[in-house]
Copies of this chain bind each other. A is one copy, B any other.
Amino acid sequence: MKQIYLDYSATTPVKREVIDTMLPFFTEVYGNASSIHSFGQEAKTVLEQSRKSIAETINATPDTFYFTGGGSESDNWALKGVMRANRKKGNHLITSKIEHHGILHTCTALEKEGFEVTYLDVDAEGMISLEALEAAITDQTVLISIMFINNEIGTMQPVKAIGEIAHKHGVLFHTDAVQAYGNVKIDVNAMNIDLMSVSGHKIYGPKGIGGLYIKKGIRIQNIIEGGAQERNRRAGTENIPGIVGFAKAAVMADEALESHREKLIYLRDKLANGIMATIPYAKYNGHPTERHPGNVNICFEFIEGEALLLSLNAKGIAGSSGSACTSGSLDPSHVLLAIGLPHEIAHGSLRLSIGDFTTEEDVDYTIESLKEIVQKLRLMSPLYDKVLKEGK
């Protein structure tokens, strides 16, 4: 059966060019980048080249970019590191209700340490309010952390304006750009970003490697102590193959950004429009224009997301859901609840995320399959009775 992968927001395949760049570093240039012999110094050289390449894609200097073990570690580091290091300045952090759990669960942990966190609401399209943000700032506020692009509904926040407000009040601004990096052009300077989390496996690079941009001069504590790697800020033998692969993927993404976006937006709109035109009782979530180029998120009334995913999978289509049932949690996704969806609708959500290897046929086939599946599941659903009987 043909396999159609529409879960690029969960993770991406590693591009051939990326693997080819990584391979020599497993078996040939395998030295520890901190060693002074040739094996080590060669590794050190490519380490610093990789850092430079990535820094350039976000208009940063190399000494502001630190490699980590992934987006979650970066999120934890940014928030815990900045809040703990700046206790003297204040104990207040502002974030939003729709952040990734890498941020939200870190906030919970910080609350247990005595920090105060404001969780901003979002509107029906997933946008925070700049007025509410500014109003939430107190003289205790140290950091604002607002994600660049939401992983579920794809909504893109006005990052530059958020940074402006932060800086006007002398507050630092972190953004979780794990979904944005490689999908929109990011300029940390022009966008007033002080700290930014990114991850390799979302941009056709390897898993287990990520990064944190930390503007110069920012006070931040370590979360992984030990050797002096990453200029004394993140211990652990450098994952050179991962770093080299991440850098290659980052440069490829940066170079092809425009065509990548155009392609994704075209397929995304085709997919979303196709579904909305053929399946009734469906709601397109997220912002109509300010959104991830490859993100489609739709709720189908009367049915549950996991059943939808399993049925799609049986037809070879890989999607994802903010459904609670996929995870065993009682509540549906906090993001869908935050945009005001009632539980029963939020349970029926489907995220299809498009990427560089998606084809027009994939999209057509998906629309067709989805129509059948939704109909089949609805006929099984006690909630659909009303519609059948009353025409609703």
Contacts and interface: CB of A to CB of B under 8 A. Distances in A.
A27 B209 CA distance: 16
A10 B26 contact: no
B226 A72 contact: yes
A79 B150 CA distance: 34
Given A7-B39, A318-B35, A209 B208 contact: yes
A71 B236 CA distance: 7
A318 B37 contact: yes
A101 B225 CA distance: 8
Given A36-B310, A240-B207, A102 B235 contact: yes
Q: Number of copies of this chain in the oligomer? A: 2
- Interface bracket on A: 35 or more
A38 interface: yes
A105 B235 contact: yes
Nearest to A5: B39
B36 A309 contact: yes
B14 A27 contact: yes
A70 interface: yes
Contact of A72 (B23, B34, B224, B312): B224
Nearest to A310: B36
A32 B10 CA distance: 6
A320 interface: yes
Contacts of A132: none
Interface string A177-200: 000000000000000000000010
Contact of A14 (B19, B26, B207, B208): B26
A31 interface: yes
Given A37-B7, A225-B105, A239 B208 contact: yes
Contacts of A13: 26-28, 30
A306 B237 contact: no
Contact of A70 (B16, B225, B237, B309): B237
A214 to B, nearest CB: 17
Contacts of A240: 207
A64 interface: no
Contacts of A387: none
Contacts of A380: none
A242 B208 contact: yes
B10 A40 contact: yes
B3 A32 contact: no
Contacts of A304: none
Contacts of A26: 13-14, 19, 206
Nearest to A238: B207
Given A31-B11, A226-B101, A72 B39 contact: no
Interface string A87-131: 000000000000011110110110000000000000000000000
A369 to B, nearest CB: 13
A222 B318 contact: no
Contact of A11 (B23, B207, B237): B237
Given A226-B100, A239-B207, A313 B36 contact: yes
Interface string A266-298: 000000000000000000000000000000000
Interface centre among A35, A72, A237 (most CB of B within 10 A): A237
B31 A237 contact: no
A76 interface: yes
B306 A36 contact: yes
Contacts of A51: none
A109 B5 contact: no
A201 interface: yes
Contacts of A163: none
B38 A318 contact: yes
